[in-house]
A and B are shown apart, each in its own frame.
Chain A
Amino acid sequence: MRQASRRRALSNVVVSLCGLAVVLALIPLVLIFIYVIKQGFSSLNWDFFTKMPKPVGEAGGGMANAMLGTLWLIAIAALFAIPVGIIAGVYLSEYRGSRFASLVRFTADVLNGVPSIVIGIFAYGLAVLPVHRFSALAGGLALGFMMIPIITRTTEELLNLVPPTMREGALALGATRARAAFGVMVPAALPGIMTGILVALARIAGETAPLLFTSFNNRYFTTRLDQPIASLTVQVYTYAISPYDDWHRQAWAGALVLVAFVFVFSVLARVVTRRLERMHRG
């Protein structure tokens, strides 16, 4: 019986180690949240949201241009990535058995794993190199390329959750496949697809690497597609590695805005997903 008790003891040790692993992972999460909130809030003020950056060495100013810039870049990305992602997802779900669908599915997953900095080089070669100018368009393209695989795969997964009887019903009533897909299936899966879009937006809003040499940076705000544009992430990076205390403070404030944005989107996406799960189960 000595051996049995030793086995039980070992089991208990491993079980507690597993619990410890969860705690270990939550420590950095909590630490990051505490620091970002503490440092961020003390540096956040009205100027931060409304003022443009001050020249090097001058205190004060804000990140108004960078925040608008990030929104502008996201808008450019969403404009082409959402339709492409959704329609590709419809294809994957409608023809899920086909060989081409497997290839696309695999490629989308691979694309999702391509480092964002590599996507940045691609967008650089596509839109910066030919005209020799950093531009909002190049940055938007890079971000959009990153959105496409996320939206494609979530759209597909959510369409697969819609009961096939709905498609069959539509087809039996004489609808074409296109009508059945876009008139019945997509609307049925729409809340879930919106969630996927939210998740994708939250992810690209926090991207820095693909913007460093595509949209670059700009001290002013412009809506012109062929001009460099500031973004919150690149601005936080520039300020973080600068030697000025005031810029460090602003970097923390920028980080707080980013984290708040991502957190709200994640929670929102989660609430929608849970409601959907309950709906499908019930």
Chain B
Amino acid sequence: MTKTSSSRRSADDRLFRLGTGFFAFLVVLLVAGIAYELFRDSRLSLEKFGFHFWRTTTWDPVAGQFGALPFIWGTLYSSFLALLISTPIALGIAIFLSELAPRALRTPLAFLTELLAAIPSIVYGLWGIFVLVPMVRQLEVHTPDWLKKIPLLSGPPLGVGMLSAGLILAVMVIPFTSSVAREVLKAVPATQREAAYALGATRWEAIQAALRFGRTGIMGAIILGLGRAIGETMAVTMVIGNNPKISPSLFAAQHTMSAVIANEFTEADTDLYLSALIEIGLVLFVITLIVNALSRFLIWSVSREIKAKAPKASAVISTRPEAAA
């Protein structure tokens, strides 16, 4: 090989690195662009209301009053309610599919549970309006009066409201949490369980050993689910009632951050109104960014730990059910 052709080759290689690197950079630029633009377009509201925006509860676009506390409340309430329901189920699925189920059943069952992640959010919403909400309304109608004295269960039986939103979100979050938790459990070295069995542990005690070993990653899986719940829009807006009133009641119609954006964005007739909605989007973006980064970090640190303790184990944990399915 002559010198010129080898130097041309290294120039080619550098060009290749730069060229492909540019496209990789586009991904970073995209996220930076989102942050910049949300910030720019919400400046009007940021400057006018400041922190007040997040502390007040009056949302009255006609009067130019914008207080976003009800939306934060609704988003947090519905997301944590969803996690409360989905976490035990998702972990149960993960344990069943990675530790207990007969080998022949594992793949098809995993496929089915992860199919829940593939159903479009609008279909969940449609099903929610016409099937789930009437069922919840029946439940509310039949709740005895003495129970309705508790603030958690007070209010008229509307069907639409926090309970419907929490239930539908829980179903939507399950596949995300369960598939990552399953991957974490799969990555836990078999020696952990074998050691437990050798000490005379029962099946559950051996599973506990595996759970304890992978707890950081399991936490990551749960937080990943939280991120999904916080950002979910269509299904929630169709069943939560879209009422910007803070209430502790599961039966009350409430609102969320994503739902108010979806509902009112095209109706925003003043610059301030639009800017207030975009500020909600900005905060939604920042919250999901932090939640996702935290979840990634936890999952990454458990896979690194496993790699360090058992170098041969496959410790690549995917965070996307689409990839696992």
Q: Which of B27, B34, B122, B296 contacts A206 (CB 8 A)?
A: B122
- A150 CA to B319 CA, complexed, in Å: 11
Instruction: Name A22's contact: one of B113, B123, B318, B320 (CB within 8 Å).
Output: B113
Instruction: Give bound CA distance, A270 to B107, whole Å.
Output: 11
Chain A, residue nearest B168 (CB):
A28
Q: How many residues of B contact A (CB 8 A)?
A: 94
Within 8 A of B (CB), among A70-124: 83-84, 87-88, 90-92, 94-95, 100-101, 103-104, 106-119, 121-122, 124
* A208 is an interface residue with CB less than 8 A from chain B: yes
* B234, A11: Cβ atoms closer than 8 Å: no
Smallest Cβ-Cβ distance to A149: which chain B residue: B27
A104 to B285, Cβ gap below 8 A? no
Is A244 an interface residue when CB atoms closer than 8 A count as contact?
Answer: no
Interface locus among A41-49, A52-60, A173-181, A219-227: A173-181
B9 near A212: Cβ-Cβ < 8 Å: no
- Provide the B285-310 mask, 1 if CB < 8 A to any CB of A, else 0: 10011011101100000000000000
- Which residues of A are found within 8 Å of B129, using beta-carbon distances? 240-241
Do the beta carbons of B23 and A110 come within 8 Å of each other?
no
Are A208 and B122 in contact, with the CB atoms below 8 A?
yes
Complex CA gap A90/B265 in Å reads: 38
When distances are taken between beta carbons in the complex, the residues of chain B under 8 Å from A1 are none
Instruction: Name the A residues within 8 Å of B41 (CB-CB).
Output: 121, 125, 129
Given A209-B262, A270-B325, CB of A109 within 8 Å of CB of B296: yes
B123 adjacent to A91 (CB under 8 Å): no
The reply to whether the CB of B261 lies closer than 8 angstroms to some CB of chain A is yes
Distance in Å: Cβ of B10 to nearest Cβ of chain A: 9
Give A108 to B232 CA distance when docked, in angstroms.
Answer: 19
Given contacts A177-B13, A258-B120, A266-B115, contact A114 B258 (CB under 8 A): no
Neighbour of B130 across the interface among A117, A152, A248, CB < 8 A: A248
Contacts of B269 in A (CB 8 A): none
Q: Answer whether A108 and B111 are a contact pair too, CB < 8 Å, given A15-B204, A212-B265.
A: no
A270 to chain B, nearest CB (A): 6
Any A CB within 8 A of the CB of B284? yes
CA distance A104 to B25 in the complex (A): 7
Give chain A residues whose Cβ lies under 8 Å from the Cβ of B26. Answer: 84, 88, 148
Q: State whether A8 touches B23 (Cβ < 8 A).
A: no
Which residues of A line the B interface, CB within 8 A? Answer: 7-8, 10-11, 14-15, 17-22, 24-26, 28-29, 31-32, 35-36, 39, 83-84, 87-88, 90-92, 94-95, 100-101, 103-104, 106-119, 121-122, 124-126, 129, 145, 148-150, 152-154, 157, 174, 176-178, 181, 199, 202-203, 205-209, 212-213, 216, 233, 236-237, 240-241, 248, 251-252, 255, 258-259, 262-263, 266, 269-270
Task: A17-B92, A91-B17, A263-B118 given; name 4 further pairs at CB < 8 Å.
Answer: A7-B202, A18-B100, A22-B113, A255-B127
